[in-house]
Structure 1
Amino acid sequence: MINEQDILNASILIVDDQQSNVLLLEEMLHDVGYACIASTTDPYMACELHRKNRYDLMLLDLQMPGLDGFQVMEGLKQIETGGYLPVLAITAQPGHKLRALIAGAKDFIAKPFDLVEIQTRIHNMLEVRLLYRELEIQNKVLEQKVLERTAELRESEARFRRLTELSSDWHWEQDKNGHFTKIFGPVYDMLGIRVNDDLTITRDYQGGTWNECERDILEEYLTTRQPFLDFVYSRTKPDGSQQYLMVSGEPIFSPSGRFMGYRGIGKEVTEAMATRQGVTSS
Structure 2
Amino acid sequence: MAKILLVDDAAFMRMMVKNTLNENGYTDLYEASDGAEAVTKYAELKPDLVIMDITMPNMDGLEALKAIRKADPNASVVMCSAMGQEAMVIEAIKSGAKDFIVKPFKPDRIIKTVSSIVGQA
Same fold (TM over 0.5): yes
* Percent of aligned pairs with the same amino acid: 27
The reply to whether residue 86 of structure 1 matches residue 82 of structure 2 is no
Letter in 2 for 1:73: L
Quote the offset at 1:59 in angstroms.
Answer: 0.3
CA contact (8 A) 2:48 2:75 kept: no
Higher relative contact order (CA 8 A, sep 6+): 2
* Structure 1, unaligned runs of 5 or more: 1-8, 128-282
Letter in 2 for 1:77: R
* Number of residue equivalences: 117
CA distance in 2, matches of 1:94, 1:114: 18
CA contact (8 A) 1:90 1:110 kept: yes
Q: Which structure has the larger Rg?
A: 1
Identify the residue that residue 117 of structure 2 maps to in structure 1: 125
Quote the offset at 1:96 in angstroms.
Answer: 2.0
The reply to whether residue 61 of structure 1 matches residue 53 of structure 2 is yes
The reply to whether residue 31 of structure 1 matches residue 23 of structure 2 is yes
Q: Which has the larger strand fraction?
A: 1
1:188-220 Cα offsets, whole Å, 9 max, x none, are: xxxxxxxxxxxxxxxxxxxxxxxxxxxxxxxxx
CA contact (8 A) 2:7 2:32 kept: yes
Query: What does 1:160-171 correspond to in 2, within 5 Å?
Result: none
CA distance in 2, matches of 1:121, 1:77: 19
CA distance in 2, matches of 1:120, 1:33: 13
* Structure 2, unaligned runs of 5 or more: none
The reply to whether residue 72 of structure 1 matches residue 99 of structure 2 is no
Normalized against structure 2, the TM-score is what? 0.91
The reply to whether residue 102 of structure 1 matches residue 94 of structure 2 is yes
User: Helix, strand or coil: the match of 2:75?
Assistant: coil
CA contact (8 A) 1:85 1:106 kept: no
User: Helix, strand or coil: the match of 1:91?
Assistant: strand
Quote the offset at 1:114 in angstroms.
Answer: 1.2
User: Helix, strand or coil: the match of 2:86?
Assistant: coil
What is the alpha-carbon root mean square deviation over aligned residues? 1.1
User: Please, which of 24, 34, 37 is the counterpart of residue 45 of structure 1?
Assistant: 37
User: Helix, strand or coil: the match of 1:78?
Assistant: helix
Normalized against structure 1, the TM-score is what? 0.40
Letter in 2 for 1:84: N
Query: What does 1:1-282 correspond to in 2, within 5 Å?
Result: 9-80=1-72, 83-92=73-82, 93-127=85-119
